[in-house]
Amino acid sequence: MKLGDLAPLDLAERMKRQGLDLDTGPFVVRITTPIANLANELRALYCDFTLEAEGGLADFHLAVRHPAGPLGVRRYWRRQAKVYVDETPPFEPLPIDMAVPMLEWSINWCAATQVNQYLMIHAAVLERHGHALVLPGVTGAGKSTLCAALAHRGWRLLSDEFALIQPADGQIAPWPRPISLKNLSVDVIRRWAPDAYMSPPVQNTTKGTVVHVRPPAESVRRARDRATPAWIVFPTYEQGTANRLTPLPKARAFFRLAGCSFNYETLGIQGFQTLSRMIERCDVFEFAYSSLEDALRLLVALPLPAPLP
Partner 1 sequence: MSSASDVEWQLAEGSRLHWVSWDREYVVFNEGSGDTHFLDSFSAEILKVLEQFPGPEPALIERVADCLNLYRDAGLERRIRDAIQKFREAGLVDPARA
Partner 2 sequence: MSDALLLRALRKPESMRRFAPADWDVMLRQARNTGHLARLCVVARGAGILDTLPTRLRERLESEYAAVAQQHRLIRWEVTRVRRALARTTVPLILLKGAAYLLTDLPAARGRQFSDVDLLVPRDRLPEVEDVLLDEGWQFTTLNDYDQRFYRDWSHELPPMAHKDRQIILDVHHNILPPTSRLRPDPRLLFEAARRLPDSSLSVLAPTDMVLHTVCHLLQSGELDHCLRDLSDLDVLTRHFATEVGFWRALVPRAAALGVARPLYYGMRFANRLLDTPIPEEVIRDLERVAPPRAVRVAMDFLVTEALVPGHPVFSRRMRLARGLLSIRYHWLRMPPPLLIRHLLHKAFARREPVAGGPAAV
Contact 152, 193 (CB under 8 A): yes
Binding site partner of 91, from partner 2, partner 1, none, Cβ cut-off 5-8 A by kind: partner 2
What is the distance between the alpha carbons of residues 288 and 156, in angstroms, rounded to a whole number?
22
Find the shortest distance in angstroms from Cβ 229 to partner 1.
16
Find the shortest distance in angstroms from Cβ 163 to partner 1.
18
Is there binding between residue 266 and partner 2 (CB under 8 A)? Answer: yes
What is the distance between the alpha carbons of residues 241 and 236, in angstroms, rounded to a whole number?
10
Binding site partner of 87, from partner 1, partner 2, none, Cβ cut-off 5-8 A by kind: partner 2
Find the shortest distance in angstroms from Cβ 262 to partner 2.
8
Shorter beta-carbon distance to partner 2: residue 85 or 296: 85
Eight-class DSSP state of 287: E
Find the shortest distance in angstroms from Cβ 249 to partner 1.
6
What is the distance between the alpha carbons of residues 237 and 235, in angstroms, rounded to a whole number?
7
Contact 108, 162 (CB under 8 A): yes
Contact 196, 214 (CB under 8 A): yes
Contact 181, 145 (CB under 8 A): yes
Site mask, partner 1, residues 224-253, x = CB under 8 A? -------------------------xxxx-
Contact 108, 161 (CB under 8 A): yes
Binding residues among 45-104 for partner 2 as defined by CB under 8 A: 55-59, 61, 86-92, 94, 101-102
Find the shortest distance in angstroms from Cβ 250 to partner 1.
4
Is there binding between residue 169 and partner 2 (CB under 8 A)? Answer: no
Binding residues among 259-298 for partner 1 as defined by CB under 8 A: 265, 268-269, 272-273, 276, 279-280
Is there binding between residue 258 and partner 1 (CB under 8 A)? Answer: yes
Calculate the alpha carbon distances from 113 to 106, 108, 301 in Å: 10, 9, 37
